[in-house]
Structure formats: structure tokens, C-alpha cells
Amino acid sequence: MKNFFYILTAIILNLFYFSHNSYSITIAGLNISENLIIEKETLCLNGAGLRRILGIKIYTGALYLKEKSNNPEQIINSNKPMAIKLVWLRRIPIQKMPKVWIDSFKLATNGNITPFQDKIDKIIQFTKQEKIKKYVSFNFVYLPDKGLILFVDTPIRLNKKIGIVQGFDFKKTFFKIWLGNNPCQVSLKNKLLGLD
């Protein structure tokens, strides 16, 4: 009976979610929404692609902006609402996440993560609060008057707010993970920018 309740809840939530979103592209079998509506902000899809490591599909990434842009510096330095959505395509053990984030921030900062260490630690703690498994979505939403907010979607729950990291400088560093001069994956950067 308990399992039936969870399944029924998931169906209802997904029907509600799908009825309020339109889709423009499909990646790895996932429909990527044309719009992301969070905290009364409507953002439009700028681009989306796959993150791979050694040929293995890890997640789909989608970049949402107020207005479309293919200029990475402009996006990084913009103090307007934006979001990066990561939909995981496989289970990732929680104990691996600290190294994943630290390595990502080292690339984004050319190895100088010290000024942001406290905020990086917050991101690590936030992302350890939810088990990372197939189709769990991390929505990192930047709002100028609030900061970088993590929302998590699962098959049975949408838009769970996990926490906020404040600071415009940190926001710029965070988005450099995907859009900077040393991105986590060049092909994904190009996809997010709508260049490929």
C-alpha cells in the first residue's frame, strides 16, 4: 500500500509538471523544458548537452537565462537571474561528491579555491542532502537579491529548496565551472551556449 501511494504521488506530480512545461529538445531520452519557472522568475533555455566522463553519461546540463546569449563572459559577469539544471543519469555515491566539486572549482579558479572555500563547503553539504540517482535534478538558480539557490527535483517531489549561497563573486565562479576558460567539458560548454 505504501509503495502504491508513492507511485500514485509520482504520477500526479509528473502530470502536473508536464502540463505546465513545453519541451524543445530531447537529450539521453530526457525532455528538456523550454522554460524554467522558479521563485516567480521565468527563464528560457539557452542550451543543453551531456556531461560525459570516459564515455559514460553522467548528467544532462541545461542553461537558463532571461535572454539568450552565446557569450560566456557576458553570462558569467551578468547580475541577472539565471540557472544551471543538472539531471543525473546515474547514481553517484555521496562520498565522491566533495572531490567532484573541489576538482570543478579548481578548474574554474585556476587552482585558487581558498577565497571561496567556505562557500564551496556549503555547496558540498547541500548536495550531500539528497541521494544522487537517476533522474534526480539539481537546479542551481541565481537570483541577484538572494544568491545562488539549490532546488532539488525527484520523481515524487519538485522544487525542494535545499539552501542558499550568497555573493556575486561566487556566482561568477560557480558558472565558470561550465562556461569558463577551463570548463569541465568543452563540448558541453558549447552546447550550453547554443554553439553546437
Separation between Cα atoms, residue 67 and residue 45, nearest integer Å: 9
Tell me, what's the pLDDT at 22? Answer: 55
Strand partners, 51: 59
Helix-helix angle 97-108:117-127, to 10 degrees: 140
Q: How far is CA 165 from the centre of its chain?
A: 14
Q: Are 46 and 65 in contact (CB under 8 A)?
A: yes
Tell me, what's the pLDDT at 8? Answer: 45
Tell me, what's the pLDDT at 13? Answer: 41
Nearest alpha-carbon partner for 23 in 73, 59, 62: 62
Per-residue confidence in pLDDT tens, the chain, 196 aa = 545 544 444 444 444 444 345 556 888 888 899 999 988 899 999 999 999 999 999 999 999 999 999 999 999 999 999 999 999 999 999 889 999 999 999 999 999 999 999 999 999 999 988 889 999 999 999 999 999 999 999 888 888 999 999 999 999 999 999 999 999 999 999 999 999 7
Under the phi-then-psi rule, with left for phi > 0, alpha for psi from -120 to 50, and beta for the rest, what region is 182?
beta
Contacts within 8 Å (CB) and 24+ apart, 23-29: 27/60, 28/57, 28/60, 28/89
- pTM here is 0.86
Q: Does domain 22-192 have CATH number 3.50.70.10?
A: yes
Nearest alpha-carbon partner for 171 in 107, 106, 123, 133: 123
Torsion, Cα of 166, 169, 170, 171 (10° steps): 80
